[in-house]
C-alpha cells in the first residue's frame, strides 16, 4: 500500500471515529421521541454558536422562546403576543400591565364613549422579563360598540393618539423609552 493511500485511509478512519463519537454524544444528550428531538437537560445546550451559526431557520406553526430573542442585521421581524381570551374593560378602567402585554383589549362601547387608562410605566416594565430601552410591545384595542374609545397613559406613559373609533380596532405600539427603576417611561403610538 502506498504512503498516500495509507494517509487517506487514516484520514477516513479518523473522520469515521469522530462521527461515531459525535453521534454517541448527540444521542446521549438529545433523544428522539414521537419525531421530536428532546434534550436530556432543560436550558443546557445551544444550537450553533457566535462563530458557527446556522444559515437559515425554517419553522412551520409555532416557536416558543423562553428568554430574550435578539434579531440582528437587516432582518424584518414582528413579535405579537396574544392571549387566548381578550380582556374586557369599561369606562374609567385601568388596563393592567399583564392584560396589555397579553395583546388584546376589548372595550365595551355599546352605550357610551369610553376612556381607559394604561397601567403605569413602572408596572408595564416590571412585567417584561429583561426589559431594555427601545423594546416595543404591540397590542390591539377593540371598540365593540358604536362609540369610541380613548386610551390615556398612566403615570410615566405618553399616548400620542389614543383614539379608537366605534366598531373598529387599532394596533398600538408601546416603546420602552427608559427602563431604569423609578424612572420608567413609555411612549405609545
**Ranges of each domain in the chain:** 3-39, 87-188
12-61 pLDDT, tens per residue? 777 676 666 655 555 556 666 677 777 777 777 777 788 888 777 777 66
Residue 64 sits at the vertex; the CA angle it makes with 184 and 67, to the nearest 5 degrees, is 40
Q: Which helix (H) or strand (E) holds 30?
A: strand 30-33
Residue 156 sits at the vertex; the CA angle it makes with 150 and 158, to the nearest 5 degrees, is 40
Eight-state DSSP code of residue 113: -
110-157 pLDDT, tens per residue? 899 999 999 999 999 999 888 899 999 999 999 999 999 999 999 999
C-alpha grid cell, residue 98: 399583564
Amino acid at each position: 500500500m502506498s504512503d498516500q493511500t495509507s494517509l487517506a485511509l487514516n484520514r477516513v478512519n479518523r473522520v469515521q471515529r469522530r462521527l461515531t463519537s459525535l453521534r454517541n454524544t448527540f444521542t446521549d444528550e438529545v433523544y428522539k421521541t414521537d419525531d421530536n428531538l428532546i434534550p436530556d437537560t432543560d436550558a443546557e445546550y445551544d444550537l450553533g454558536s457566535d462563530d458557527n451559526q446556522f444559515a437559515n431557520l425554517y419553522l412551520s406553526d409555532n416557536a416558543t422562546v423562553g428568554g430574550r430573542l435578539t434579531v440582528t442585521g437587516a432582518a424584518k421581524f414582528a413579535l405579537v403576543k396574544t392571549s387566548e381570551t381578550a380582556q374586557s374593560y369599561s369606562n374609567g378602567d385601568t388596563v393592567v400591565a399583564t392584560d396589555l402585554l397579553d395583546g388584546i383589549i376589548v372595550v365595551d362601547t355599546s352605550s357610551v364613549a369610553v376612556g381607559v387608562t394604561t397601567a403605569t410605566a413602572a408596572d408595564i416594565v416590571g412585567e417584561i422579563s429583561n426589559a431594555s430601552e427601545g423594546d416595543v410591545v404591540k397590542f390591539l384595542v377593540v371598540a365593540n360598540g358604536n362609540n369610541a374609545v380613548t386610551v390615556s397613559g398612566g403615570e410615566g406613559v405618553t399616548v400620542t393618539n389614543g383614539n379608537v373609533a366605534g366598531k373598529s380596532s387599532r394596533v398600538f405600539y408601546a416603546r420602552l423609552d427608559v427602563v431604569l427603576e423609578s424612572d420608567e417611561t413609555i411612549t405609545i403610538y
